[in-house]
Chain A
Amino acid sequence: MITKTKPNNLLVTPGVETYTLTYREAVREAMREAMLRDERVFLMGEDVGNYGGCFAVSMGMLEEFGPMRVRDTPLSESGFTGAGIGAALNGMRPIVEVMTCNFSLLAMDQIVNNAATILHMSGGLFNVPLVIRTATGGGKQLAAQHSHSWEGWYAHVPGLKVIAPATVEDARCMLWTALEDPNPVMIFENSLLYNLKGEIPVDPQPIDIDKARIRRYGDDISIITFGRSLFKVLDAAEILAEEGIECEVIDLRSLRPLDDETYIDSVVKTNRALVVDEGWKSVGISAEISARIMEQAFYDLDMPVERVCGVEVPIPYAKHMEEASLPQVEDIAAAVRRMVDHG
Chain B
Amino acid sequence: MGNFVMPSLGADMEVGTLASWLVKVGDEVKRGAVIAEVETAKGLIEIEVFEDGVITDILVETDVEVPVGTVLAEIRPIGEPVAVEEVKPVPVSAEEAHPMDHRPLIKRTNGTAAVKRTNGRKSRKRIKASPVAQRLARELGIDLANVVGTGPNGVINKEDVEQAAQVKQPPVIEAPPPPQKPAVEKREFLVQKTDKADKVAVKAAEKAKAEKAALSMRQAIAAAMARSNRDIPHYYLETDIDMSAIQAWLAAENLKRSLRERLLPVVPLIKATALALAKVPVLNGFWLEDELQAQEAINIGFAIALRTGGLVTPALFNVDCKSVDEIMADLSDLIRRTRAGRLRSSELTDATVTLTSLGDMGVRKVYGVIYPPQVALVGFGKVMDRPWAVNGLLGVRPIMTATIAGDHRATDGRVGAQFLDELDKLLQAPEAL
Asked if A342 and B131 sit within 8 Å, CB to CB, the answer is: no
Which B145-184 residues have a C-beta within 8 angstroms of A? 150-152, 155, 157-159
Docked complex Cα distance between A299 and B158 (Å): 11
Docked complex Cα distance between A342 and B159 (Å): 10
Among A271, A302, A343, chain B packs the most CB atoms within 10 A around the CB of A302
Asked if B135 and A303 sit within 8 Å, CB to CB, the answer is: no
**A55 CB-CB contact with B under 8 Å:** no
**B428 CB-CB contact with A under 8 Å:** no
**B133 CB-CB contact with A under 8 Å:** yes
Asked if B132 and A302 sit within 8 Å, CB to CB, the answer is: yes
A300: chain B residues within 8 A (beta carbon): 131-132, 135
Of chain A, the residue at the smallest CB distance from B138 is: A299
Q: How far is the CB of A294 from chain B (nearest CB, A)?
A: 9
**B130 CB-CB contact with A under 8 Å:** yes
Chain A 324-343 per-residue mask, 1 if CB under 8 angstroms from chain B, else 0: 00000000000000000011
**A21 CB-CB contact with B under 8 Å:** no
Asked if B131 and A298 sit within 8 Å, CB to CB, the answer is: yes
Asked if A342 and B150 sit within 8 Å, CB to CB, the answer is: yes
B130: chain A residues within 8 A (beta carbon): 271, 301-303
Asked if B132 and A342 sit within 8 Å, CB to CB, the answer is: no
Asked if B135 and A299 sit within 8 Å, CB to CB, the answer is: yes
Which A158-187 residues have a C-beta within 8 angstroms of B? none
On chain A, the number of residues with a Cβ less than 8 Å from chain B's Cβ atoms is: 9
Of chain A, the residue at the smallest CB distance from B134 is: A299
B150: chain A residues within 8 A (beta carbon): 342
Docked complex Cα distance between A37 and B398 (Å): 98
Q: How far is the CB of B164 from chain A (nearest CB, A)?
A: 14
Docked complex Cα distance between A298 and B135 (Å): 10
Asked if A342 and B151 sit within 8 Å, CB to CB, the answer is: yes
A303: chain B residues within 8 A (beta carbon): 130, 151-152, 155, 157
Main secondary structure of the interface of A (DSSP, over half): loop
B131: chain A residues within 8 A (beta carbon): 298-302
Asked if B151 and A299 sit within 8 Å, CB to CB, the answer is: no
Asked if A299 and B132 sit within 8 Å, CB to CB, the answer is: yes
Which B249-291 residues have a C-beta within 8 angstroms of A? none
Asked if A302 and B158 sit within 8 Å, CB to CB, the answer is: yes
A301: chain B residues within 8 A (beta carbon): 130-132
Docked complex Cα distance between A299 and B132 (Å): 5
Asked if A271 and B152 sit within 8 Å, CB to CB, the answer is: no
Of chain A, the residue at the smallest CB distance from B161 is: A302
Given contacts A302-B157, A303-B157, contact A343 B132 (CB under 8 A): no
B158: chain A residues within 8 A (beta carbon): 271, 302, 343
Among B130, B155, B157, chain A packs the most CB atoms within 10 A around the CB of B130
Given contacts A302-B130, A303-B151, A303-B152, contact A342 B135 (CB under 8 A): no
A342: chain B residues within 8 A (beta carbon): 150-152, 157
Docked complex Cα distance between A343 and B159 (Å): 7
Docked complex Cα distance between A300 and B130 (Å): 9
Docked complex Cα distance between A300 and B157 (Å): 11
Q: How far is the CB of B366 from chain A (nearest CB, A)?
A: 40
Docked complex Cα distance between A10 and B115 (Å): 46
A302: chain B residues within 8 A (beta carbon): 130-133, 151, 157-159
Docked complex Cα distance between A301 and B158 (Å): 9
Q: How far is the CB of A267 from chain B (nearest CB, A)?
A: 10
Docked complex Cα distance between A171 and B305 (Å): 78
Chain B 123-145 per-residue mask, 1 if CB under 8 angstroms from chain A, else 0: 00000001111110000000000
Chain A 32-76 per-residue mask, 1 if CB under 8 angstroms from chain B, else 0: 000000000000000000000000000000000000000000000
Q: How far is the CB of A302 from chain B (nearest CB, A)?
A: 4
Q: How far is the CB of A291 from chain B (nearest CB, A)?
A: 15
Q: How far is the CB of B148 from chain A (nearest CB, A)?
A: 14
A299: chain B residues within 8 A (beta carbon): 131-132, 134-135
B155: chain A residues within 8 A (beta carbon): 303
Docked complex Cα distance between A303 and B153 (Å): 11
Docked complex Cα distance between A155 and B371 (Å): 53
Q: How far is the CB of A296 from chain B (nearest CB, A)?
A: 12
Chain A 270-303 per-residue mask, 1 if CB under 8 angstroms from chain B, else 0: 0100000000000000000000000000111111
Docked complex Cα distance between A301 and B140 (Å): 17
Q: How far is the CB of A265 from chain B (nearest CB, A)?
A: 15
Q: How far is the CB of A271 from chain B (nearest CB, A)?
A: 5
Docked complex Cα distance between A271 and B155 (Å): 15
Docked complex Cα distance between A342 and B152 (Å): 6
Of chain B, the residue at the smallest CB distance from A298 is: B131
Q: How far is the CB of A300 from chain B (nearest CB, A)?
A: 5
Q: How far is the CB of B75 from chain A (nearest CB, A)?
A: 25
B151: chain A residues within 8 A (beta carbon): 302-303, 342-343
Docked complex Cα distance between A303 and B132 (Å): 8
Docked complex Cα distance between A300 and B158 (Å): 9
Which A98-153 residues have a C-beta within 8 angstroms of B? none
Docked complex Cα distance between A343 and B160 (Å): 8
Docked complex Cα distance between A28 and B421 (Å): 80
Docked complex Cα distance between A301 and B136 (Å): 11
Docked complex Cα distance between A300 and B159 (Å): 13
Which A78-92 residues have a C-beta within 8 angstroms of B? none
Docked complex Cα distance between A343 and B152 (Å): 9
Q: How far is the CB of A8 from chain B (nearest CB, A)?
A: 25
Q: Could you list some 29 contacts between A and B, CB below 8 A? A: A271-B130, A271-B132, A271-B158, A298-B131, A299-B131, A299-B132, A299-B134, A299-B135, A300-B131, A300-B135, A301-B130, A301-B132, A302-B130, A302-B131, A302-B133, A302-B151, A302-B157, A302-B159, A303-B130, A303-B155, A303-B157, A342-B150, A342-B151, A342-B152, A342-B157, A343-B151, A343-B157, A343-B158, A343-B159
Given contacts A301-B132, A303-B157, 15 further A-B contacts (CB under 8 A): A271-B158, A298-B131, A299-B132, A299-B135, A300-B132, A300-B135, A302-B151, A302-B158, A302-B159, A303-B130, A303-B151, A303-B152, A342-B151, A343-B157, A343-B158
The 10 closest A-B pairs by CB, nearest first: A302-B130, A302-B158, A299-B135, A302-B157, A302-B132, A342-B151, A299-B131, A301-B131, A342-B152, A298-B131
Q: Which residues of B contact A (CB under 8 A)?
A: 130-135, 150-152, 155, 157-159
